[in-house]
Amino acid sequence: MDFTKIHSGNTFLFRFIRLFKPDSLVPAVAAGITSAVLVIASQISFAAMLFSQNFSSFLVQGIGFLLFGTFILGIINAVKSSHPNCMVEVQDAPIAILSIPLVTMGAQMTADAASQETIFYTIVLTLMTSTLGTGLFMLVIARFKLGNLVRFTPYPVIGGFLAGIGWILFKGGIDVMAGFSVDLHSFSQLLEPMTLLKWVPGLVFGLFLYYLLRKFNHFLILPGMVVGAIVLFFILLNILGISFAQAESAGWFLGPFPTGSLWEPISLSGLSLVRWDLILAQSFTICSIFIISTISLLLNASGLELITKTDIDLDNELATNGMANILASFVGSSPGYVTLSTSALSYRLTPGSRLSGIITFSICGCVLITGASIFSGYPRLLAGAMLVLIGFDMLWEWLYDSFGKLPRTDYCIILVIIVVIAGVGFLEGIATGIFIAVILFVINYSRINIIKSSSSAKHLQSNVERSVPYRWILNKKGDQVLILQLHGFIFFGSANQLKGRIECQVDAMEKNPLKYIVMDFQNVNGFDSSALNSFERIRQYTQDKNISLVFVNITAGLKKQFETSNFTSDRINIFGDLDHGLEWCENKIIASEATPSRSKRDEIFESTFDDIDKALEQMEHFERLLSLMDPCLQQIHIKKGQFLFQKGEPIQGFYFIKSGQVSIMMDQQENNPTRLREMGPGNIIGQWDEGEGNRVTPSVKIQKSGEIFYLSPAGLGMLEKTDLELSFKFYKYITQNLSERLSKSNNIIQGLI
């Protein structure tokens, strides 16, 4: 017997029963009824906006489409959402976007004398297509866990988009109340006395309601004002002696509506009447709804996370909303997603309970069954006022509240988007905003210095051990090598900045001209094709100046980009790492000084005499130390290509290099290991014994055949027992050797800063 399933079932049953206890049920019912009033009122307003003017005869069906879609979206998410208080309904942004092409399509079909059935089914298929596509898009984003990618949309573009939707909703509210679409040609009609009476009270009520909601934070204000407005409207009609029939004929109500169900199944035979050419002509607008709905879902879900201080599984929300939108599309609904206001209300009254959402959308389902006649007395003023409220809220947030919060450039982008949306079109406004944001991004990014650090071979040298005269030459001529460590993503703007930096450096060193420029690409993420043109110009410039380019730490992808663009030259040298690139430059400088004049030789000898004398003294001391320690040492002949020891092998004792050359390398298993240091005679490799032997990280490879002496732990112990004075000399030599290495490491670090 599976006790886990029994326990899980009992837990679910307990939670289900717990929902219907008075302390849980009463707040849930209050929240559910309150939210239902808001949801139904908003859906009526959205339907009035969509199905206006040429489509007013389909308003009943439109309310049914949106309410049925909200019912499906709400119930599915109330059960499946990762957050128990998450409320989903048909939303304002898709409605605002769809209202624009529907007006265009309606005007076209009216001009073509299309039948009412053709107009109706074309509208319905436009709604279904946008909702079905939105659902599929959300499922794809959730399937590949790409929800965060949508958040890369520039913030001012999102702000402009929301403000633009606010304008469309605000204007849509005026249109609904006035009974016609307001534009420059019909603006004078809007100011006629009888028309003013239709929309000014609704505008004032919407703005007053907005003021109350900002001033007072109580969940009953909005539903209370909606119900109160309806009651007040009928009281005023009674005082003025206007009958219901007179007000209805004058267009003060959304009705009259026929009796019966609000929704009827869509006939498949009507699909043959659809004007697919008009729908395809609006494909870009419809596709924009997919992206905008997904962005809005993620933004609202993130806002709910902040309100409830609870993490929400965004991929789950995308998948759940996607599936719900697909189902809602088959009933003719517009797209929907998480709504922040009703979700926050549900959380405030019933935190952690799904019951308020189930009650809210069950009421919507009951209204569908009850029929449309109950909405016959719904004031057109109130429907428009709700749109004015929502639209003005968005406009205030992005035009006023954001003024002191956003940089001026971002705020100007928002203004430009709103102006273009209002004057030209929605998609044109979004495209304009994205274009401006991209241009500003390119300008700002091109100002970022892609040069992480700059140095010369005088301060930053390879890990190859050099003789004293060679070190003197490199210190003297090190300024001939410019080392540029690049980082970030390189494109035409930053690459051009790099070219300017190189030209300034070359001009500043006319007396001691540059011979080599080393570019380190280790921290470069990539570059676009336009940057290759700038690198080609750098190559031409350096070639004219007789400067060799050295590229190091180039990844396979970057190297392929250079090769495919035919970016090759005899003055460009590519190395696997900075160390070998610097070694090549050093060898070239040393080679150029291989046969110096007599005066030059005298200068080198005079300048390095003390260092040479010190080096000879140290070597003499090293050989004398080996001679004294000979009884404790083991002689080893090394050959080029062999490993003294490899990564992971235990090392004990010390290795004294008498002749030959060895390299200490990291990651020996890779094709291009990193050389930590290359050492010759007079150096010591090894460490003190710690009992079981140490697993060394680097490998030591023989680069030049020679002779090495090995001091084992046993030999060291014998030395300490038989000759304490010699042991002291040995430890002193090791300390001096380590000190010199540390000094060189400090110089390298200083060169990198």
Residue pLDDT, tens place only, 204-234:
998 998 899 888 877 678 778 888 888 998 8
Residues 311 and 305 sit within 8 Å (Cβ to Cβ) = yes
pLDDT at 635: 85
Token pair 């007053």 is at which residue? 208
Kindly state the helix (H) or strand (E) to which residue 453 belongs, with its residue range.
strand 451-456
pLDDT at position 752 over 50 = no
CB neighbour class for 284 (10 Å; exposed up to 12, middle 13-18, buried from 19): exposed
pLDDT at 330 (0 to 100): 94
Q: DSSP string covering 27-63, please?
A: HHHHHHHHHHHHHHHHHHHHHHHHS-GGGGGGHHHHH
Q: Where are the domains of the chain?
A: 3-439, 451-595, 610-752
Q: At what angle do helices 283-308 and 155-178 cross, to 10 degrees?
A: 110
Considering only residues 465 and 408, tell me which one the structure prediction assigns the higher pLDDT: 408
Cβ–Cβ < 8 Å for 513, 502: no
Element (H, E) at 160: helix 155-178
Burial of 416 (0-12, 13-18, 19+ CB in 10 A): middle
Mean pLDDT, to the nearest integer, of 726-737?
Answer: 80
Helix (H/G/I), strand (E/B), else coil: 636:
strand
Instruction: Report which of 524, 454, 450, 514 is spatially closest to residue 484, judged by C-alpha positions.
Output: 454
Please report, for residues 52, 71, 90, 179, 367, the alpha-carbon distance to residue 63 in angstroms, rounded to integers and kept in the order given: 12, 12, 11, 17, 11
Output 333 or 470, whichever has higher pLDDT.
333
Model confidence at 695: pLDDT above 70: no
List, as one string, the DSSP characters of 84-125. Answer: TT--EEE-HHHHHHHHHHHHHHHHHHHHTT--HHHHHHHHHH
CA dihedral sign of residues 471, 476, 479, 481: negative
Alpha carbon distance 285, 282 (integer Å):
5
pLDDT score, position 318 = 93
Q: Is the pLDDT of residue 251 over 60?
A: yes
The CA distances from residue 528 to 89, 439, 495, 520, 523, in Å, are 43, 16, 10, 17, 16
* pLDDT more than 90, % of the chain: 13
Would you say the pTM of this structure is higher than 0.75? Answer: no
Predicted confidence at residue 121, as pLDDT, reads 92
Residue 635's CB: how many other CB atoms inside 10 A?
Answer: 12
Question: What tokens does 420 get?
Answer: 């273009």
CB 535 within 8 A of CB 566: no
Is it the case that residue 5 has pLDDT exceeding 50? Answer: no
Name the CA radius of gyration of the chain, rounded: 40
Q: Is 330 exposed, middle or buried (0-12, 13-18, 19+ CB in 10 A)?
A: middle
Contact 59, 376 (CB under 8 A): no
State residue 4's pLDDT score. 46
pLDDT at 21: 59
Contacts within 8 Å (CB) and 24+ apart, 671-677: 672/576, 672/577, 673/699, 674/577, 674/579, 675/463, 675/577, 675/579, 675/580, 676/463, 677/463, 677/465, 677/741
> What average pLDDT does range 353-371 have in this prediction?
86
d(CA 209, CA 694): 77
Q: What pairing do the DSSP bridges indicate for beta strands 572-575 and 548-552?
A: parallel
Mean pLDDT of 721-732: 82
Q: In terms of Cα–Cα distance, which of 666, 658, 657 is closest to 686?
A: 657
Q: What mean pLDDT is predicted for residues 18-44?
A: 73
Asked if 451-595 and 610-752 have one fold, the answer is no
Mean pLDDT across 347-371? 84
pLDDT confidence bin for 3, thresholds 50/70/90 = very low
pLDDT, averaged across the chain: 81
Pair of tokens at residue 445: 């990014």
Cα–Cα distance measured from residue 6 to residue 326, given in angstroms and rounded to the nearest whole number: 34
Long-range CB contacts (< 8 A, 24+ apart) of 553-557?
A: 553/520, 553/521, 553/522, 553/577, 553/578, 554/521, 555/521, 557/526
Q: Is the pLDDT of residue 747 over 70?
A: no
φ, ψ for residue 421 (rounded to 5)? Answer: -60, -45
CATH of domain 610-752: 2.60.120.10
Q: Tell me, what's the pLDDT at 339?
A: 86
Which has the higher per-residue pLDDT, 318 or 748? Answer: 318
Contacts with 483 (C-beta within 8 Å, 6 or more apart), sequence order: 454, 455, 456, 457, 460, 518, 520, 578, 582, 751
What spatial distance separates the first Cα and last Cα of the chain, rounded to whole Å? 68
Tens digits of per-residue pLDDT, 308-342?
A: 778 888 889 999 999 999 999 999 999 999 987 77
Q: Give how far the C-alpha of residue 209 lies from the chain's centroid of Cα atoms, to the nearest Å.
A: 37
pLDDT exceeds cutoff 60 at 53: yes
Which range (23-27, 128-132, 137-141, 446-450) has the least confidence? Answer: 23-27
382 touches 198 (CB < 8 A): no
Place 565 in a pLDDT band, splitting at 50, 70 and 90: low
Q: Which of 147, 173, 431, 79 is nearest to 300 (CA)?
A: 147
- Assess whether pLDDT exceeds 70 at residue 603: no
pLDDT winner (highest mean) among 156-160, 271-275, 496-500, 560-564 = 271-275
Mind giving me the DSSP string for 410-426? HHHHHHHHHHHHHHT-H
**DSSP string computed for 700-731:** EEEEEEEEEEEE-HHHHHHHHHH-HHHHHHHH
User: 3-state class of 526 per DSSP?
Assistant: strand
CA–CA dist 171, 181 (Å, integer) = 9
Q: What is the mean pLDDT of residues 637-662?
A: 81
pLDDT confidence bin for 553, thresholds 50/70/90 = confident
Please tell me the predicted confidence (pLDDT) of residue 40.
Answer: 86
Q: Of 591, 165, 646, give the one whose Cα is nearest residue 391.
A: 165
**Mind giving me the DSSP string for 265-310?**
PPPGGGGGG--HHHHHHTHHHHHHHHHHHHHHHHHHHHHHHHHHT-
Res 626 pLDDT > 50: yes
pLDDT-derived band at 8 (thresholds 50, 70, 90) equals: very low
Across the beta sheet with 516-527, what order do the strands follow?
A: 451-456, 481-490, 516-527, 548-552, 572-575
Mean pLDDT of 417-421: 90
pLDDT of 691 > 50? The answer is: no
Neighbours of 226 (CB within 10 A): 18
Q: List the structure tokens of 354.
A: 């799904």
Q: What is the DSSP string of 529-590?
A: HHHHHHHHHHHHHHHHTT-EEEEES--HHHHHHHHHTT---TTEEEESSHHHHHHHHHHHHH
Residue 31 near residue 363, CB atoms below 8 Å? no
Q: Among 1-5, 318-322, 375-379, 633-637, which stretch is predicted with the lowest mean pLDDT?
A: 1-5
Q: Which of 3.50.50.60, 3.20.10.10, 3.30.750.24, 3.60.15.10 is the CATH number of 451-595?
A: 3.30.750.24
d(CA 199, CA 176): 8
Question: Please, what's the largest Cα pairwise distance for the chain?
Answer: 126
Confidence of residue 415 (pLDDT cuts 50, 70, 90): very high
Q: Residues 288-306: what's their mean pLDDT?
A: 83
Q: Tally the residues of the chain.
A: 753
Q: What is the pLDDT of residue 562?
A: 72
Distance of alpha carbon 298 from alpha carbon 338, whole angstroms: 8
At residue 469 the predicted structure's pLDDT band, cuts being 50, 70 and 90, is confident
- Is the pLDDT at 273 greater than 80, yes or no? yes
